[in-house]
Amino acid sequence: MSPGILGKKIGMTQVFRPDGQAVPVTLLKTGPCTVVQRKTVNSDGYDAVQLGLLEFVKPARLNRPQTGHLKKGGAEGVKFLREFKLGSGANDDMKAGDQVLVGEFKPNDKVDVIGVSKGRGFAGVVRRHHFRGGEGSHGSMFHRAPGSIGASSFPSRVVPGMRMGGHMGDDRVTVRNLEIIEVVAEDNVLVVKGAVPGPNGGYVVVKRAKR
């Protein structure tokens, strides 16, 4: 049993349960994946498996070290690679060249989905940190400013972690314990309840929930 699978976000929609309840879901195009490398305690110091998402990739998109690594693992045509750490003595049967398909997941299973959030560029404190801002009336002269960012006499500097305007989004985000609503094995589609970080078409990592 694979510890996870790789895929792409298709988009959001809704499905209806037998009792008529509407459930917001995200469709994920997951797999087919192949095992590119199997790491062991003897050879690498820890147990892990490296998966690659099988998709069309132009050879010019890969450099020579990547091409050699994929050829050694028998996984040519892979661009998106991620490593899954294994517990001691788990998944000893997985080896390079094995296939990982979405059929290994079942409805009602819980998964953690990792993606990269949408980049929003530079944002101020009102949008980035949900500051309330000042009065909007005429003459206020304080509308969307951050206010004081530190004292002048002590410590006479801006302390680390101060919430200020800056680059918003484009961060690695993990959403935990999403319920699998449906598995469409013939189309390699995983239907999970709720929202998943990132834009449509963005890469995601689906792991079996730990908590």
| pLDDT (tens place) for every residue of the chain, 211 residues total | 789 999 999 999 999 999 999 999 999 999 899 999 888 888 888 889 999 998 888 888 888 888 888 888 777 778 899 999 987 555 567 888 888 999 999 999 999 999 999 999 999 999 999 999 999 999 999 999 999 999 989 999 999 999 999 999 999 999 999 999 999 999 999 999 999 999 999 999 999 998 7
State whether 20 and 94 are in the same domain.
yes
Q: What's the pTM?
A: 0.85
Q: Indicate if 26 and 64 belong to the same structural domain.
A: yes
Same domain, 40 and 111: yes
**Residue 83 is part of a domain; what is its CATH number?**
2.40.30.10
Q: How many structural domains does the chain have?
A: 2
Q: Identify whether residues 178 and 77 lie together within a single domain.
A: yes
Q: Judge if 185 and 91 occupy the same domain.
A: yes
In a shared domain, residues 132 and 115: no
C-beta separation of 190 from 102 below 8 A: yes
Domain limits at 44? 4-119+171-208
Same domain, yes or no: 152 and 203: no
